[in-house]
Structure 1
């Protein structure tokens, strides 16, 4: 049982997401098949309920989101042993104020016409649930903890944080 407050868990969640940035966005393709693709995830300061991704308004993922809004974002940083899963519902918007707020020149690689590209849209993900795993001690300490758990039959301890959040 964690003694962290929901606020502390949420702060840690966003700290991990900020460091990782690229996530696999999973959508429902045809009513039952899942489809994932890498997306650069953005966040607005003070906007803790939502995550954002730029997309083209005519993309397959937009068509998928029109049929089923359920999504998952999976973040992974193998080097630091940090992993995050966020699930929620997505909507697509072409709100120019939001695009201006989220725009970074790094996005120009995918959108050469910049933030004024007429096909540029934003996927807005409303966070419903999240879970993270953070093993700050590194791979060797984590591996040792799991090996010890296997030998002793006791759950691993001190190998990092695992927290679940509802409606972050």
Structure 2
């Protein structure tokens, strides 16, 4: 079955879908080749084609992205039926001026020494591709599908009520 999802180069809609979703699941490749995911706190998207996180310089993810920079980020907002997948390349680095700009006091839970903690690194993911699914409501979707089946005798397509698109940044 061919995938007929619309493809766009406009990243703004994808970023709009995740702007209020703070936690992403970051997937990297472990040393044995297996995939490994962990939750990460997303800094507010700034309109560029990158997503930014703060992490500890000694974390496994820093080592893993240095070996293979391909990563995936998964976002979900089940209450709103919004789901986003982002693929890109990650880079871990230290830039104190950028850390100062990104710092917020709740981050002290992970970095007890504050924004001047020498273990803080920035993990930046340059977005290459993404995909999003936005369904207004499970009940609404079922009602539209039912109505279409009754009126037309045909099964509803996901595009009848869902918003789904692929984003190719390249």
If the TM-score is normalised by the length of the shorter chain, which range does it land in?
A: 0.7 to 0.9
Preserved CA contact (<8 Å) 2:9 2:169: no
**Per-residue deviation at 1:49?**
1.3
**What RMSD, in angstroms, separates the aligned Cα atoms of the two structures?**
2.5
TM-score, with normalisation over the residues of structure 1?
Answer: 0.86
* Contact 2:6/2:166 (<8 A) preserved: no
Q: Which entry has the higher C-alpha Rg, 1 or 2?
A: 2
Counterpart CA distance in 1 for 2:39 and 2:147 is 35
Aligned length: 164
- What SS does the corresponding residue of 2:19 show, helix, strand or coil? helix
Taking a change above 3 Å as real, the CA distance of residues 145 and 17 of structure 1, as seen in their structure-2 partners, is same
TM-score using structure 2 length: 0.85
The residue correspondences of 1:12-161 to structure 2 (distance < 5 A) are: 12-30=13-31, 32-43=33-44, 45-46=46-47, 48-135=48-135, 137-145=136-144, 152-161=154-163
In structure 2, C-alpha distance between the alignment counterparts of 1:131 and 1:118, rounded to whole Å: 35
The Cα offsets for residues 42-94 of structure 1, whole Å up to 9 and x where unpaired, read as 14534x11111111000111111111111000000000000111000001011
Q: Which runs of 5+ in 1 are unaligned?
A: none
Q: Which has the higher contact order (CA 8 A, sep 6+)?
A: 2
Unaligned segments of structure 2, at least 5 residues: none
Deviations 1:97-149 (A, max 9, x none): 111121122212211211111101111101000111111x2121124456678
